[in-house]
Amino acid sequence: MLTTRLCLLTIVAEGVLRDRLLGELRAVGASGFTAAEVQGEGSRQRRVSQFMGPNVKIEVVIGRDKADRLLEILSIDYFPQYAVIAYLSEVEVVRGEKYV
């Protein structure tokens, strides 16, 4: 199979940030995502009101440039204020043109 290398960006945040985060994804031109409810706990930087309730885990397959732009937005507008984590991994997709 002919595949293309892209990034999988995963964001875990308190549930109330869901729509705002999905808005950021759309704003950078991410062409698809999945979102699911998860339970989470950050043992050091936990804030009681945040990581006790349901969190949202958002996953999006995108190009590295858009992933970096999203990480930058998260670093500036989210990390200082909210219990948000984000990580990138490499994935291979078929029909890579759909995602960039």
Binding residue count for a copy of itself, defined by CB under 8 A? 45
Show the tokens assigned to 26: 């759309």
Cα of 53 vs its chain's centroid, Å: 18
Show contacts with a copy of itself in window 39-68 (CB under 8 A): 39-45, 55, 57, 61, 68
**End-to-end C-alpha distance for the chain, whole angstroms:** 19
Q: Return the DSSP state at 95.
A: S
Shortest separation between residue 13's beta carbon and a copy of itself, angstroms: 11
Cα–Cα distance measured from residue 89 to residue 9, given in angstroms and rounded to the nearest whole number: 7
Cα–Cα distance measured from residue 59 to residue 32, given in angstroms and rounded to the nearest whole number: 9
Are the beta carbons of 85 and 12 closer than 8 angstroms? yes
Q: Does 89 bind a copy of itself (CB under 8 A)?
A: yes
Cα–Cα distance measured from residue 21 to residue 70, given in angstroms and rounded to the nearest whole number: 10
Shortest separation between residue 52's beta carbon and a copy of itself, angstroms: 13
Shortest separation between residue 20's beta carbon and a copy of itself, angstroms: 15
Q: Does 15 bind a copy of itself (CB under 8 A)?
A: no
Show contacts with a copy of itself in window 23-42 (CB under 8 A): 26, 30-42
Please report, as ranges, the residues that interact with a copy of itself according to CB under 8 A. 1, 3, 6, 8, 10, 12, 22, 26, 30-45, 55, 57, 61, 68, 71-72, 74-75, 79, 85-95, 98
